């Protein structure tokens, strides 16, 4: 090695050392952040388990009453899969068999849902519970239950509309229209179980339904700027779109933050399963629109257009009276988790940086509850459905689920 080479090696080392030190510090901070959040989540969930007692099929935690008391639901609501799913995540984060035992118990009570066809949320109900169970402990019985659940969900698919029907026929909640075949953007999330069913059975029919539903959603739920409509109502005979609007957002033409979150997460997942670039494009455009509308702490308003000129809530909507600009931590948690994945498919867009900042924001005292408060939920300040005067500025079980999933994705990220 000549003098010139030695000099250049020396210079390279000189430059690299501070970078290596910075990188090591960052890794240490990351490990400490994850450890502290796991310690909190396990302690808080221990308290939740004590307050719930044994699973009965009727006591899945959901939110709180106005006086702060815990609200639980039966299994036929859309949210019973999230608590068992969170217990699986705690097992994944700790490796402690105690969490596996409780996760198994809380998952097992949902088995009767495998034949349920009353609404579209079977993906949330069964894939967050049994899907996580089978991912961590692959098992023929779990696969049988998930396949039967996928059959039940598929029974709601129509070749006319090329979508899975979200809700059964109903009058719009403010009586403005009849909803013959309502499909909501949330429905994208239920497709993950269908992709999985095709993988474990070798039968492509579930995959085909998921792709057709995604294509119809791509066509009918997005506006030009890639903001989303919450509800699209189809004609059952012609299969045509009758109207596009909202049920849980501020107004028909507004962007409901959690709806946008479901779109980002959903299309990221569909891209993972299909590798079709049009879904990645949709996920990126929906994510960029979402990021453009965020306040400094990266937790969105429950609807991006609350109180803005040109956005009018329906006459029966509580949003007409209540225009306080509340945040929705549940949307933030869903997007945070989604961005960790989307970053892997779009590495030129700083999505990991955004996701890490969102996770820190959610884990700060502004959104993460103090131990033993918040009826033992992890996160505060979500909005279930403001127009229906329901779950306003409350904890929500699915905010906690996606927060824990984001924590796992952060832990696994490079
Ligand atoms: N899937 C119902 C909701 O997001 O509120």
Q: Which two tokens stand for residue 122?
A: 């079977």
To the query of whether residue 353 is one of the catalytic residues in this protein, the response is no
User: Which atom of ligand 1 lies closest to the CA of 121?
Assistant: 1
Residue 348: what pLDDT? Answer: 79
Compute the distance from residue 198 Cα to the ligand 1 centre, in Å: 26
Q: Are 342 and 284 in contact (CB under 8 A)?
A: yes
Compute the distance from residue 77 Cα to the ligand 1 centre, in Å: 11
- In sign, the C-alpha dihedral spanning 198, 284, 352, 332 is negative
User: 186 in ligand 1 pocket by Cβ < 6 Å?
Assistant: yes
Residue 332: what pLDDT? Answer: 99
Residue 1: what pLDDT? Answer: 64
Q: Which two tokens stand for residue 281?
A: 């494009």
Residue 148: what pLDDT? Answer: 98
- Supply the residue whose CA is at minimum distance from atom 1 of ligand 1: 186
Instruction: Name the catalytic one among 77, 101, 121, 203.
Output: 121
Compute the distance from residue 186 Cα to the ligand 1 centre, in Å: 6
Tell me, which fold does domain 42-412 have in CATH?
Glycosyltransferase (1.50.10)
Per-residue pLDDT of the chain (414 residues; tens, 9 = 90+): 676 777 777 777 777 887 888 788 989 999 999 999 999 999 999 999 999 999 999 999 999 999 999 999 999 999 999 999 999 999 999 999 999 999 999 999 999 999 999 999 999 999 999 999 999 999 999 999 999 999 999 999 999 999 999 999 988 877 778 999 999 999 999 999 999 999 999 999 999 999 999 999 999 999 999 999 999 999 999 999 999 999 999 999 999 999 999 999 999 999 999 999 999 999 999 999 999 999 999 999 999 999 999 999 999 999 999 989 999 999 999 999 999 999 999 977 899 999 999 999 999 999 999 999 999 999 999 999 999 999 999 999 999 999 999 999 999 998
Instruction: Name the catalytic one among 96, 175, 186, 296.
Output: 186
To the query of whether residue 328 is one of the catalytic residues in this protein, the response is no
Compute the distance from residue 94 Cα to the ligand 1 centre, in Å: 29
- Ligand 1, residues 166, 186, 391: which to mutate, most atoms within 8 A of Cβ? 186
Instruction: Label the pairing between strands 231-234 and 390-394.
Output: unpaired
Compute the distance from residue 331 Cα to the ligand 1 centre, in Å: 10
User: 248 in ligand 1 pocket by Cβ < 6 Å?
Assistant: yes
User: 132 in ligand 1 pocket by Cβ < 6 Å?
Assistant: no
> Based on the number of CB atoms within 10 Å of its own CB, is 9 exposed (0-12), middle (13-18) or buried (19 or more)?
exposed
User: Which atom of ligand 1 lies closest to the CA of 385?
Assistant: 5
Domain locations along the chain: 42-412
The one-character DSSP state at 227 is -
pTM over 0.85: yes
- Supply the residue whose CA is at minimum distance from atom 5 of ligand 1: 384
């Amino acid at each position: 090695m000549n003098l010139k080479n030695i000099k250049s090696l020396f210079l390279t080392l000189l430059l690299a050392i501070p970078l290596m030190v910075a990188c090591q510090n960052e890794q240490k901070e990351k490990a400490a952040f994850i450890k502290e959040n796991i310690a909190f989540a396990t302690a808080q969930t221990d308290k939740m388990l004590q307050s719930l007692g044994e699973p009965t099929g009727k006591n899945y935690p959901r939110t709180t009453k106005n006086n702060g008391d815990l609200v639980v639901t039966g299994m036929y609501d859309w949210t019973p899969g999230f608590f068992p799913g969170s217990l699986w995540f705690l097992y994944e984060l700790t490796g402690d068999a105690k969490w596996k035992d409780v996760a198994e118990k809380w998952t097992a009570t949902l088995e009767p849902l495998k034949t349920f066809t009353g609404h579209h949320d079977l993906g949330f109900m069964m894939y967050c519970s049994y899907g996580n169970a089978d991912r961590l402990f692959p098992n023929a019985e779990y696969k049988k239950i998930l396949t039967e659940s996928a059959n039940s969900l598929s029974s709601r698919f129509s070749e006319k509309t090329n979508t899975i029907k979200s809700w059964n026929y109903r009058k719009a909640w403010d009586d403005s229209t009849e909803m013959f075949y309502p499909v909501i953007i949330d429905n994208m999330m239920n497709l993950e179980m269908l992709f999985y069913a095709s993988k474990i059975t070798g039968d492509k029919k579930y995959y085909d339904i998921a792709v057709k539903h995604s294509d119809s959603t791509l066509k009918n739920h997005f506006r030009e700027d890639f903001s989303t409509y919450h509800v699209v109502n189809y004609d059952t005979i012609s299969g045509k779109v009758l109207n596009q609007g909202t049920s849980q957002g501020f107004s028909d033409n507004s962007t409901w933050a959690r709806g946008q979150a479901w779109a980002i997460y959903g299309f990221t997942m569909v891209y993972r399963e299909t590798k079709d670039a049009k879904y990645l494009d949709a996920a990126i455009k929906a994510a960029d629109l979402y990021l453009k509308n965020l306040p400094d702490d990266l937790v969105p308003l429950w609807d991006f257009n609350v109180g803005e000129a040109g956005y009018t809530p329906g006459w029966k909507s509580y949003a007409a009276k209540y225009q306080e600009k509340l945040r929705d931590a549940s949307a933030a948690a869903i997007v945070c988790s989604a961005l960790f994945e989307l970053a892997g498919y779009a590495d030129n867009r700083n999505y990991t940086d955004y996701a890490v900042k969102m996770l820190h924001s959610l884990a700060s005292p502004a959104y993460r509850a103090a131990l033993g408060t918040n009826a033992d939920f992890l996160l505060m300040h979500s909005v279930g459905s403001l127009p229906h005067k329901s779950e306003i500025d409350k904890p929500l079980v699915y905010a906690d689920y996606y927060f824990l999933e984001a924590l796992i994705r952060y832990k696994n990220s490079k």
